[in-house]
């Protein structure tokens, strides 16, 4: 176990402390996990878009998802909400049909939905350099992304627990910035696809924890130690909302 963990850390390029209690699994039940995601769907969309700085309130998100326009808000902000909803529906469909997998193809399909109209080019790995606000860490060069993603795929076989594997996948997407935009959102979708495929509840960070989320992410970027992010994300399973 320790050897596999160390190899996964080497492949992913960051480390984290291993605490079994963070990754306790419920009896697998995909039908229950998908139902819970559907039950909290507007709240999940609100959580994700709020973390992106979207000004839509929860009632406005609910209204927009009901097919009613919201006055006084930018079209781009409304589109971000609708794009997030579309990507979650796509993820649900992939998991129901057992077509979900962590692959470049699936990642690109999800990014094409979630970053539609925001990215320089959505749905493809970036071909130029990007930066992450608030940190001195520089994402890898574009020509390195394919090999880095291959390392992520290899790490999938080394991390047995789906909660741990999902969070590691999210953090890899955030750190390496595979796409022009929507990397954290795409990473969350891959993370939650891993969880749903294993019959576990998804993870979504509450909008009220936005500052803590960003602060802990910056610490991760600067230190390459993901221990605090693993603890933070594991505590935000929607299991705790039922």
Q: CB of 206 within 8 A of CB of 197?
A: no
Tokens 């970036």, residue? 126
Helices assigned H by DSSP within 52-161: 58-65, 75-96, 104-114, 145-156
User: How many structural domains comprise the chain?
Assistant: 1
Q: What percentage of the chain carries pLDDT values higher than 70?
A: 100
92 CB neighbour count, 10 Å cutoff? 19
Q: What residue numbers bound the domain in which 152 lies?
A: 2-241
Average pLDDT, the chain: 96
Distance CA 110, CA 228 (A): 27
b (16+ CB within 10 A) / e for 213-239: beebbeebbeeeebbbbbbbbbebbbe
Can you say how many angstroms the Cα of residue 58 is from the centroid of all Cα atoms in its chain? 20
Distance CA 134, CA 221 (A): 9
Is 33's pLDDT higher than 90?
yes
Q: Which two tokens stand for residue 44?
A: 């999940």
Q: What is the pLDDT of residues 42-99, one digit of tens each?
A: 999 999 999 999 999 999 999 999 999 999 999 999 999 999 999 999 999 999 999 9
Tokens 């992304």, residue? 145
What confidence tier does 119 reach under pLDDT thresholds 50, 70, 90? confident
Distance CA 108, CA 121 (A): 11
pLDDT, residue 1, reads 60
Distance CA 183, CA 175 (A): 9
Mean pLDDT of 197-224: 97
pLDDT, residue 20, reads 79
Least-confidence region, from 15-19, 49-53, 153-157? 15-19
What is the domain-level CATH number for residue 148? 1.10.3290.10
Q: CB of 242 within 8 A of CB of 36?
A: yes
Is 41's pLDDT higher than 80?
yes
């Amino acid at each position: 176990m320790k050897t596999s963990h160390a190899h996964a850390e080497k492949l992913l390029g960051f480390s984290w402390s291993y605490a079994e209690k963070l990754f306790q699994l419920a009896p697998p039940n995909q039908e229950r996990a998908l139902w819970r995601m559907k039950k909290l769907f507007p709240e999940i969309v609100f959580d994700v878009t709020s973390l992106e700085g979207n000004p839509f309130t929860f009632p406005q998100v609910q209204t927009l998802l009901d097919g009613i326009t919201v006055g006084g808000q930018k079209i781009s902000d409304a589109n971000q909400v609708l794009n997030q909803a579309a990507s979650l529906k796509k993820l649900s469909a992939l998991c129901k049909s057992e077509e979900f997998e962590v692959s470049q193809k699936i990642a690109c399909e999800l990014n094409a939905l979630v970053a539609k109209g925001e990215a320089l080019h959505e749905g493809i790995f970036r071909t130029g350099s990007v930066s992450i606000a608030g940190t001195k860490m520089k994402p890898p060069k574009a020509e390195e992304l394919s090999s880095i993603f291959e390392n992520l795929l290899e790490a999938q076989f080394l991390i047995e627990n789906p909660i741990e594997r999902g969070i590691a996948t999210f953090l890899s997407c955030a750190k390496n910035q595979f796409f022009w935009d929507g990397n954290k959102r795409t990473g969350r979708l891959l993370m939650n696809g891993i969880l749903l495929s294993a019959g576990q509840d998804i993870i979504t960070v509450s909008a009220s924890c936005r500052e803590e989320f960003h602060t802990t992410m910056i610490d991760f970027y600067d230190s390459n130690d993901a221990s605090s992010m693993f603890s933070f994300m594991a505590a935000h399973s929607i299991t705790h909302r039922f």
